[in-house]
Amino acid sequence: MTHRALALFLGLALACWANAQTADDSLKKVAIVSLIGEVITVDTYRPKVGTSIDSNHRDVIPIQTPVFDHTALLAAGDALAKLNPAAAVVSLAVPAPGSDADPARLVVDGKVAPSSAFIASLQEQGFTHLLTITKHRAPARLHLGVDTVGSGNLQGIGFYVDNDFRTRRRDTGETGTGFMAPYVYIKLTLVELGTLQLRGEEVIMASAARSAANNKDGFSPWGAMTPEQKVGMLKSLIKRHVTETVPLLFRPK
């Protein structure tokens, strides 16, 4: 066997081994439900006063179309299909907040709601797994270059704005005041419906800050991007990180 033939053989063998490791035969029929994008929150930093833990100003913007949930559902479905092409993956309709199908009510404190009519319905329809995509609440940790900055708590999807933070471009040395960061704080949970046990749970805390030092037009951090650009950045963060996170749900415990 020549060196080239040996290399090709080893490459094919490694590819087959990798597929065997990532494929999950227990995934027969998977339902995905997401509720992360019915609102967008704009969190604007305000200095703390006294003993206030979180003094940020928040504007909650209702979203009339489930564009962000559809992005999450599509990314999760594609990732599951790659893990096991033979599995049936069904993206469910985006539920109303507080309804029986609201994913935040299905798994609470790491436990599946055993009396859920929604869960029972999935079991009756032969679903083997349920993947929920929900909002996650955690302290603000926005990535600005090599630094991590932020104040207060963030949840779900939205934008963090700091109009006072001093920034500097690494390529030109130009300075600016303020930055804006789209963020995605969500949680993915995989449930085995036969046993009502959690198969895996992963948190996503992603952001992509834009410094005022990058704004050539002199706009404020919030006004430096068009609404279309803001939507595009949120969708890109959701797609990228959901795609990367789904396989982590199947890591050995």
Which 8-state DSSP code applies to residue 94?
P
Per-residue pLDDT of the chain (253 residues; tens, 9 = 90+): 444 443 443 344 334 434 434 456 678 999 999 999 999 999 998 887 665 666 789 999 999 999 999 999 999 999 999 999 999 999 999 999 999 999 999 998 888 987 889 999 999 999 999 999 999 999 999 987 767 888 899 999 999 998 887 776 665 656 667 888 999 999 999 999 999 999 999 999 999 887 765 555 556 788 778 899 999 999 999 999 999 999 999 988 6
The Cα–Cα gap between 145 and 122 comes to 44
Beta-strand relationship, 88-91 and 29-34: parallel
The model's pTM is 0.85
- Tell me the backbone φ, ψ of residue 109, rounded to 5 degrees: 55, 40
| Structural contact between residues 76 and 92, judged by C-beta atoms closer than 8 angstroms | no
Task: Tally the C-alpha atoms within 13 A of residue 168's C-alpha that lie toward its C-beta.
Answer: 5
Parse the chain into domains and list their residue ranges.
26-250
